């Protein structure tokens, strides 16, 4: 069924576990994430990024409506989140799209501007009962650049949360977006310091590049929402490529999308279980 992100994050946090948030690009992604979560017996967050909305022509509604329908028909508890939103117009489309949370990403702005933009987004979201995530520091990798020296400072993060009223915070602790190998080294002491300093749950971005043992340790140190995108597409596209290579006369997309969807569901099942069982007592 469709549930809210606030509920899933609160449940995970009170149990000391994590909850995985997986990026949806196509309908097959949504179907595979639902199937993988059901198989793992865990909840999951399905997240649609601003980039994915742009890919689908700029309107949120078509992919969001399909994703909501998949969640409603699933046996797993699933929520829908809008990810990495920089456009205020797109933020405002979340009001009646069936989503329960949004990440407003003003991390590219200077601190004071990030605070002002995030405060406005949080006020807007809270007026409509939506849960708001923001980012302080810079996870990096979104433009292909792995910029150093942008980790989140616990004192600044404390002030940021107080000044903006956000519900949850994405922090930069050593991961980077869009990695196709799992070679990130997280600063687990910083994760623990941030978890100690902040009154809100923490979000890890760029989790595809983080090895299993570090993901477990990050949840153990206080990370709650674990965002996973690229590793799904490594599996999905790998399966498409392998299927097409076997038969060059193949034309029916279902013949290559089905194994791709299954490969994606396998990765989801594994990571949803890992994140959902990590931490705790």
Chain CA centroid to CA 214, Å: 17
Ligand-binding site membership of 7 (annotated): no
Answer yes or no: is 84 a known binding residue: yes
Distance CA 202, CA 169 (A): 5
Which of the residues 83, 113, 143, 252 is marked catalytic? 83
State which of residues 206, 222, 276, 279 lies at the interface with ligand G3H (CB under 6 A): 206
Q: How far is the CB of 52 from ligand G3H (least distance, A)?
A: 10
- Binders in 205-244 for Zn ion, by CB under 5 A: 205
Structure tokens at 85: 């939103």
Q: Does 81 bind Zn ion (CB under 5 A)?
A: no
Residue 174 found at the interface with ligand G3H (CB under 6 A): no
Nearest to 84 by CA among 47, 50, 114, 52: 50
Picked from ligand G3H, Zn ion, none, the partner binding residue 230 (CB below 5 to 8 A depending on kind) is ligand G3H
**Piece of 28-36, 222-230, 252-260, 265-273 that binds ligand G3H (CB under 6 A):** 222-230
Q: Which C-beta is closer to Zn ion: that of 205 or that of 261? A: 205
What is the closest distance, in whole angstroms, from the C-beta atom of residue 133 to ligand G3H in the complex?
10
The CA distance from 172 to 177, in Å, is 11
Contact between 187 and 221 under an 8 Å Cβ cutoff? The reply is: no
Q: Is 146 annotated as a binding residue?
A: no
Give the 3-state secondary structure of residue 271. helix
* Residues between 78 and 137 that touch ligand G3H (CB under 6 A): 83-84
CA dihedral 192, 196, 201, 206 (to 10 degrees): -30
Contact 37, 228 (CB under 8 A): no
With CB atoms as reference, the residue minimizing the distance to Zn ion is 205
d(CA 33, CA 26): 11
# residues contacting Zn ion (CB under 5 A): 1
CA neighbor of 246 nearest in space, from 256, 258, 254? 256
229 binds ligand G3H (CB under 6 A): yes
Instruction: Taking each helix axis as running N to C, give the angle between helix 188-197 and helix 212-221, from 0 to 180 degrees, rounded to the nearest 10.
Output: 30
**83 noted as active-site residue:** yes
Asked if residues 101 and 4 have their Cβ atoms less than 8 Å apart, the reply is yes
Q: Pattern 166-205, binding to Zn ion, x per CB under 5 A?
A: ---------------------------------------x
Which residues are part of the catalytic machinery?
83
Q: Which residues are annotated as a binding site?
A: 84, 105, 135, 177, 205
Q: Which residues are annotated as a binding site for Zn(2+)?
A: 84, 105, 135, 177, 205
List of residues contacting Zn ion (CB under 5 A): 205
């Amino acid at each position: 069924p469709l549930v809210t992100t606030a509920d899933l994050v609160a449940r995970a946090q009170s149990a000391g576990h994590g909850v995985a948030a997986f990026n949806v690009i196509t309908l097959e992604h949504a179907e595979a994430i639902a199937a993988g979560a059901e198989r793992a017996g865990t909840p999951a967050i399905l997240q649609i990024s601003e980039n994915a909305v742009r890919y689908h022509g700029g309107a949120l509604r078509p992919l969001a409506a399909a994703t909501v329908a998949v969640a409603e028909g699933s046996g797993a508890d699933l929520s829908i989140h809008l990810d990495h939103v920089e456009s205020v117009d797109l933020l405002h489309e979340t009001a009646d799209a069936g989503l329960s949370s949004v990440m407003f990403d003003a991390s590219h702005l200077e601190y004071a501007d990030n605070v002002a933009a995030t405060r406005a987004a949080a006020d807007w979201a809270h007026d409509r009962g939506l849960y708001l995530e923001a980012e302080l520091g810079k996870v990096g990798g979104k433009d292909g650049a792995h910029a150093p020296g942008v980790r989140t400072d616990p004192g600044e993060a404390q002030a940021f949360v107080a000044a903006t009223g956000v519900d949850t915070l994405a922090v930069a602790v050593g991961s980077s977006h869009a990695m196709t190998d799992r070679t990130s080294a997280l600063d687990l002491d910083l994760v623990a310091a941030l978890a100690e300093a902040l009154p809100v749950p923490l979000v890890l971005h760029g989790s595809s590049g983080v090895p299993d043992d570090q993901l477990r340790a990050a949840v153990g140190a206080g990370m709650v929402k674990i965002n996973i995108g690229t590793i799904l597409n490594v599996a999905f596209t790998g399966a498409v490529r392998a299927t097409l290579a076997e038969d060059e006369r193949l034309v029916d997309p279902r013949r290559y999308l089905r194994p791709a969807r299954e490969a994606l569901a396998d990765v989801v099942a594994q990571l949803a279980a890992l994140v959902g069982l990590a931490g705790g007592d």
